[in-house]
Amino acid sequence: MLISEKLNSAIRVLLVNSVEGRPNLTFSELAKKCHTTPSLAKRLALKLIRSEYAAAGRGIRGIRMVRPERLAGAWGYLFSIRELEKAEFIAAERPQYVMLKIANAARANGLKYAFTLFSATEQMHPYVAPADTHMYILKTDLMKWQRVFNSQNIQSAEGNGNIVCFLVDESYFEGVWDSRGAAVVSLPQLCADLRSYGGRGEEAGMEILKLIGEKLKNV
């Protein structure tokens, strides 16, 4: 990663809140959402203020995003989904059916997840048909997912699995939303994931960035 996980978390929180129509956050609110202290949240915010992606002072209580679309576009070059810790599994079914099984199993077992990369775009608009299934899960839930997958005849793989679970903390689930009965990462996170993944992901990420721009105009 070119930037720290805490700064990644702050960017994610601020972009998601901007897309949802809340461009202003106090440092305490930012700290709570990033699971950090107000003093560290303020230092993270100052990095974005110095880069002119955000502003503070002059009647602004806390931090206000001023160039969220520009930051969303840049984030994909500062963050890399390929560097995240992951666990891989093998399923015999095609990705669309695997995704349905995962969504149903997560509901039945109270497990948190969110599809990303082309598994997420498949739920919105099929820019590229997914060959594999990519998703975020909580690192602390890995053993639970292993048991669920085993019950579904989905086996662990040392590599080259067609189900890739990125092991993350709670902050990655900021702004997760429901698309056709499946949990999908926030649009800013999806944009960063696709652009950092490269290849056809770069093109699909640009389409998601356009969608973010449209949403920002309407809030």
Give the other-Cβ count within 10 Å of 169's Cβ.
13
**pTM of the predicted protein model:** 0.92
**What pLDDT, on the 0 to 100 scale, is given for residue 3?**
86
**What pLDDT, on the 0 to 100 scale, is given for residue 58?**
62
The string of DSSP letters for 152-172 reads TT-EEESSS-SEEEEEE-GGG
Architecture category of domain 81-185 in CATH: 2-Layer Sandwich (3.30)
Give residue limits of the domains in the chain. 5-77, 81-185
Query: Which helix (H) or strand (E) segment is 116 a member of?
Result: none
Cα–Cα distance between 89 and 160 in angstroms, integer?
8
Asked whether residue 162 carries a pLDDT value surpassing 80, the answer given is: yes
Residue 95 makes CB contacts below 8 A (sequence gap 6+) with 119, 122, 130, 131, 132, 133, 162
CATH fold match for the domains 5-77 and 81-185: no
**What pLDDT, on the 0 to 100 scale, is given for residue 218?**
76
Asked if residue 182 lies in contact with residue 115, where contact means CB atoms within 8 angstroms, the answer is: yes
Average pLDDT, rounded, for the chain: 91
Give the other-Cβ count within 10 Å of 55's Cβ.
17
Top CATH class of 5-77 equals mainly alpha
